[in-house]
Amino acid sequence: MSVDGNWKITLNTPMGARMFDMSVQSNGDTFIGSASSEMGSQDFTGNVNGNNLTWSFDVTNPMPMKLEFDANVDGDKMTGNVKIGMFGNAVLAGERA
C-alpha cells in the first residue's frame, strides 16, 4: 500500500476544524512531507511502518506549539490522532487529493 501522494487533511481540534493540504513521498521506512494552509507551510520528515505514518512539527501561528501526528492510511483515506501541545488531542481525517 502506498502512502505517497497529495492529501486533503482535516484536524478536528477543540478550537474547531483546521484544514490543510499535505504531500508525502516515502523512501523505505522514512518519508518527507510538506503541509500548507492559510496559516503558512511547513516541511517535515517522518517514519513509515506499513500503512502507519508518524511525524511531528512545530507551528508558530496562531501560537507556538508542537504537533505530533500518528496516522494510518487505508487506500485513499487517512485517519489518526494528533497531540496538539497543551490543547490535548485532535482527530485527523483525510483523503487522497
50-80 pLDDT, tens digit per residue, is 999 999 998 887 788 899 999 999 999 999 9
Mean of pLDDT values over 35-47: 92
First to last CA, the chain: 16
Domain ranges of the chain: 5-96
Give percent above pLDDT 90 in the chain: 76
The model's confidence at residue 1, banded by pLDDT at 50, 70 and 90, is: low
User: Mean pLDDT score of the chain, rounded to an integer?
Assistant: 93
Query: How far is 85 from 97, CA to CA, in rounded Å?
Result: 28
Spatial CA neighbour of 67 closest among 37, 96, 95: 37
CATH number of 5-96: 1.10.10.10, 3.20.20.10, 3.30.1280.10, 2.40.128.120?
Answer: 2.40.128.120
